[in-house]
Every structure is written in structure tokens, then in C-alpha cells.
């Protein structure tokens, strides 16, 4: 229950930051492709035997996939000349669709049994596993650090929320 509450708090912080940056109450990680990138990274970690512990590889590849997808969205929007919030969101929707298609392809091409597909879908759809006390302490520390960082950045996010003209 504590792990679910901490993860929910992190998701809430992330959602508030997304909505503040894009001045859009509907903004969320799927719109920037970061959720799709994380799902693709997790799919690779779960289905491709890379010789590294899956418990270590899964969060690393999911995090790397989220960052790579976000960087790709920003690059696509810059190449298209759409660097405003609406342009970035549109690029994010396009990249998210491509990443979703890639994830589906990997699930079909790399799975050898229905159990592996269930594992991927379980991760993508979300679930709560029972963590150890050490893991729970690490999660609490990460949550506190993210809350502190969001608090430090809150003034800048408030300015972003005013819009470009008012911020200037």
C-alpha cells in the first residue's frame, strides 16, 4: 500500500509538471511519447535476453526509453519548425503512435509464449508488486527528492503557466 501511494504521488507530481509546462490541463506523458518510450524499453528488457539481471535492466531501459522518446519528440518538433507547446504536443502524439506500433511489433516478433506477452502487458498496464523494505525506503527517498526538486522549480513553472507574453 505504501509503495502504491508513493508511486501515485510521483505520478501526480509528474502530471502537475507536464500540465504546468504545456499550459494544458490535459497534458500527460503519453502526449510527449515518454510513456511510449518507457513501454518500448520495458518490452525490450522483458523479451530480449541480454544477459543482465531483468530486475536491473527493466527500470534502466524503461527510463532510457522515456528520455530517448522525449528527446526524439523535441528533435522532430524542431525539425518541423513547431517549437511552441502545440507543435511539441503534436510531434509527441506522432512519436507515441510510432513507438506503440514498434512495441506491438516486438511483442509479436520476440515473444515465444503467451506468458511473456502477459508479463509485458502486466508491466505496461501497471501493477503493484510487494517491495522489500529496502526498496520501499529507496522509493520514499526518490519521492521526497522529486517533491523537493518540483518545489524548487515551482516558481519557474508558474511563470511558464502564465504564457509567453505574461512571462516576458
User: Over the stretch 14-23, which tens digit does the pLDDT of each residue have?
Assistant: 888 888 777 7
DSSP state of 30: G
CA torsion through residues 131, 134, 136, 142, sign: negative
Look at residues 93, 91, 99, 94 and name the one whose alpha carbon lies nearest to residue 75.
Answer: 91
pLDDT at 157: 72
Joined grid coordinates for residue 23: 499550459
Alpha carbons 127 and 118: distance in angstroms, whole number: 12
pLDDT at 29: 75
- Other Cβ atoms within 10 Å of 106 Cβ, number: 17
**Residues above pLDDT 70, as percent of the chain:** 92
pLDDT at 38: 93
Structure confidence by residue, pLDDT tens digits, 64-73: 999 999 999 9
Stated pTM of the model? 0.77
Name 35's Cβ contacts closer than 8 Å, sequence gap at least 6. Answer: 28, 29, 66, 96
pLDDT at 167: 61
Joined grid coordinates for residue 63: 527510463
Structure confidence by residue, pLDDT tens digits, 31-59: 788 889 999 999 999 888 888 888 889 88
Alpha carbons 164 and 128: distance in angstroms, whole number: 40
Alpha carbons 105 and 95: distance in angstroms, whole number: 15
Task: Tell me if 97 sits within 8 A of 32, measured CB to CB.
Answer: no
Look at residues 154, 152, 165 and name the one whose alpha carbon lies nearest to residue 17.
Answer: 154
pLDDT at 149: 93
Joined grid coordinates for residue 33: 511519447
Task: Tell me if 35 sits within 8 A of 100, measured CB to CB.
Answer: no
Structure confidence by residue, pLDDT tens digits, 92-105: 899 999 999 999 99
Amino acid at each position: 500500500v505504501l509503495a502504491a501511494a508513493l508511486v501515485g504521488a510521483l505520478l501526480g507530481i509528474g502530471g502537475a509538471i507536464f500540465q504546468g509546462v504545456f499550459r494544458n490541463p490535459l497534458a500527460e506523458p503519453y502526449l510527449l511519447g515518454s510513456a511510449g518510450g518507457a513501454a518500448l524499453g520495458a518490452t525490450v528488457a522483458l523479451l530480449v535476453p541480454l544477459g543482465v539481471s531483468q530486475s536491473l535492466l527493466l527500470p534502466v531501459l524503461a527510463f532510457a526509453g522515456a528520455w530517448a522518446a522525449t528527446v526524439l519528440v523535441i528533435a522532430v518538433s524542431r525539425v518541423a519548425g513547431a517549437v511552441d507547446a502545440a507543435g511539441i504536443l503534436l510531434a509527441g502524439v506522432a512519436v507515441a503512435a510510432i513507438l506503440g506500433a514498434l512495441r506491438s511489433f516486438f511483442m509479436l516478433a520476440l515473444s515465444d509464449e503467451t506468458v511473456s506477452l502477459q508479463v509485458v502487458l502486466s508491466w505496461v498496464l501497471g501493477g503493484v508488486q510487494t517491495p522489500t523494505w529496502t526498496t520501499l525506503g529507496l522509493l520514499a527517498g526518490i519521492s521526497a527528492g522529486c517533491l523537493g526538486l518540483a518545489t524548487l522549480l515551482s516558481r519557474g513553472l508558474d511563470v511558464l503557466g502564465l504564457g509567453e507574453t505574461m512571462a516576458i
